[in-house]
A and B are shown apart, each in its own frame.
Chain A
């Protein structure tokens, strides 16, 4: 599993301030911590970047490259900032991200070709977010076909089904199930493509202390269905251990839940019980509530 470290993200106040003030130290420490924790890529999420996109992105890329050797994932909706970022990268970067939206097809996808980089393509289209498996498949087939015509091979494409919060009343659990299923069938639909998810979004809106458990469980479930990479928090030690195969018992247990095998909770440790309960929520088997571990 390729882990793209998510921690350099403008939504974090420290990051946005550091970028604005050109405080290299803050950014470099975040990059180094993630590299040390085992991240494979460092994501640079700068949002829409309305002010000085080129200069800011160059600064950010160079700042990070001064201290880490990892390839970068350039994460912005702004095509000017994107091009500046890709241009500045020493290692083959990941363009994060393009989609089936007309604007993205016209401005982002050609950049992936021009700079010969890997590219995340989400299932989003002009019509919005396709909610179920069929509509996700339909939209990604269209967009990947378009990318292929531009000369981008499947092997360079990292498909993103768009993970949504599981806690969204009424439909969050359906979305979680749909993404799992999408990843499961992706290789049959588009042989050779890679895949990625913005993992932490699955636990958006959930009480902070409970978020890591949802993120970890969901990642293991997606990994079991063949997920290639995830934009996630490499500083979550347990997450990294799970995904690197250092906690095989938990991984097996989650597998059993996915296979609908009977699991005897009375024989499990509290930690294992929590993973089982969480997996059942993510499979839509038990109704989500913030108190899902308490029943």
Chain B
């Protein structure tokens, strides 16, 4: 008898989130199939997207070989962002590290001005990450949202502690939100439920926290995988949002990535590939050569 491979079909559809406006907009998510299940029924209209990360101050803990591609622009986030574009990114992610009270406690006004300048300078959508200090982010992200009104940035992290104020500012000024929870699927769903009470779910991107290879990546992997399965297979409305894996910073913090360039690229590359296989819809990387490596791996299939 002829063997017929079983073909699965699924009932859930990940919401398609659009970021950016006009000619420089980007669609994330929208799939009704598990990641890389080419053999099943369904499709992913928006295959994985790639962003490179820009930091709003020269990060002092980056090894030489990670700084190298951006050495000439590392102190100028606008130029740094423009240089990212030359590597063919789908989006740029700007990390407002300097606003962290434990780093430089930079002002919300200055941060918002910079975000606007970067967003206007580039021809791809901009993702903005606050420092992660849940109190300071209220001030910073609200100001960013206001200053960049109507630009449809992807702004986060929106967390349990500040989702009401930050979410409101993001919504009122026409942006999309990154909902972030600490590696826990129940908390992830809870935040989406609460946020969705006033925030349209089709403008939410999930950030489950991405850990680097060897530093808890398997937790991120399992969680992303589970979120995808529950969304795609059981149609849980509150997990049917696209997922962002913001992993570049985490990878380049590791001892292994700092030791050598080759090791660093592989560390970032394997982490990114793994999380894409689990179901991430967009990955944020630091090194342009990692981006090349992943594209080559995935697109040469």
Contact A170 B193 (CB under 8 A): no
Cβ < 8 Å to B, chain A residues 259-295: 285-291, 294-295
Residue in B194, B197, B222, B230 whose CB lies within 8 Å of A287: B230
B187 at the interface (CB under 8 A from A): yes
Contacts of B185 in A (CB 8 A): 169-170, 287
Q: Interface digits, B184-202 against A, CB 8 Å rule (1 contact, 0 not)?
A: 1111111001100100000
Contact A295 B238 (CB under 8 A): yes
Contact A287 B186 (CB under 8 A): yes
Total of A-B residue pairs, C-beta within 8 Å: 41
Residue in B194, B230, B236 whose CB lies within 8 Å of A291: B194
Which partner residue on chain A sits nearest B190 by CB separation? Answer: A289
Complex Cα spacing A289 to B222, Å: 17
Cβ < 8 Å to B, chain A residues 164-185: 167, 169-170, 172
Cβ < 8 Å to A, chain B residues 156-202: 184-190, 193-194, 197
Complex Cα spacing A80 to B194, Å: 51
Contact B222 A170 (CB under 8 A): yes
Contact B187 A289 (CB under 8 A): yes
Which partner residue on chain A sits nearest B219 by CB separation? Answer: A170
B195 nearest CB across to chain A (Å): 10
Contact A291 B189 (CB under 8 A): yes
Q: On chain A, which size bracket covers the interface?
A: 10 to 19
Contacts of A169 in B (CB 8 A): 184-187
Contact A290 B190 (CB under 8 A): yes
Q: Interface digits, A154-170 against B, CB 8 Å rule (1 contact, 0 not)?
A: 00000000000001011
B239 at the interface (CB under 8 A from A): yes
Which partner residue on chain A sits nearest B197 by CB separation? Answer: A294
Contact B236 A287 (CB under 8 A): yes
Contacts of B187 in A (CB 8 A): 169, 289
Contact A287 B184 (CB under 8 A): no
Contacts of A170 in B (CB 8 A): 185, 222, 226
Contact A167 B186 (CB under 8 A): yes
Tell which of B186, B234, B238 has the most Cβ of chain A within 10 Å: B186
Complex Cα spacing A286 to B193, Å: 13
B238 nearest CB across to chain A (Å): 6
Complex Cα spacing A233 to B249, Å: 50
Complex Cα spacing A288 to B189, Å: 8
Q: On chain B, which size bracket covers the interface?
A: 10 to 19
Complex Cα spacing A85 to B188, Å: 47
Q: Interface digits, B230-262 against A, CB 8 Å rule (1 contact, 0 not)?
A: 100010111100000000000000000000000
Contacts of B239 in A (CB 8 A): 287
Complex Cα spacing A295 to B222, Å: 24
Complex Cα spacing A243 to B238, Å: 33
Cβ < 8 Å to B, chain A residues 119-178: 167, 169-170, 172
A164 nearest CB across to chain B (Å): 14
Complex Cα spacing A169 to B182, Å: 11
Which partner residue on chain A sits nearest B184 by CB separation? Answer: A169
Residue in B186, B188, B193 whose CB lies within 8 Å of A294: B193
Complex Cα spacing A294 to B238, Å: 11
Contacts of B197 in A (CB 8 A): 294
Q: Interface digits, B12-26 against A, CB 8 Å rule (1 contact, 0 not)?
A: 000000000000000
Contact A291 B190 (CB under 8 A): yes
Which partner residue on chain B sits nearest A294 by CB separation? Answer: B193
Which partner residue on chain B sits nearest A288 by CB separation? Answer: B186
Residue in A167, A172, A285, A295 whose CB lies within 8 Å of B193: A295
Complex Cα spacing A172 to B237, Å: 20
Complex Cα spacing A285 to B238, Å: 14
Contacts of A285 in B (CB 8 A): 234
Instruction: List the 8 closest A-B pairs by CB distance, nearest first.
Output: A289-B190, A289-B189, A291-B193, A169-B184, A291-B190, A289-B186, A290-B190, A288-B186
Instruction: Provide 10 A-B residue pairs closer than 8 Å at the C-beta atoms, listed in order of the A residue.
Output: A169-B184, A169-B185, A170-B222, A172-B186, A287-B189, A289-B187, A290-B186, A291-B193, A294-B193, A295-B238
Identify 10 new A-B residue pairs, CB closer than 8 A, beyond the known A169-B185, A287-B186, A289-B187: A169-B184, A286-B236, A287-B234, A287-B239, A288-B189, A289-B188, A290-B186, A291-B189, A291-B194, A294-B194
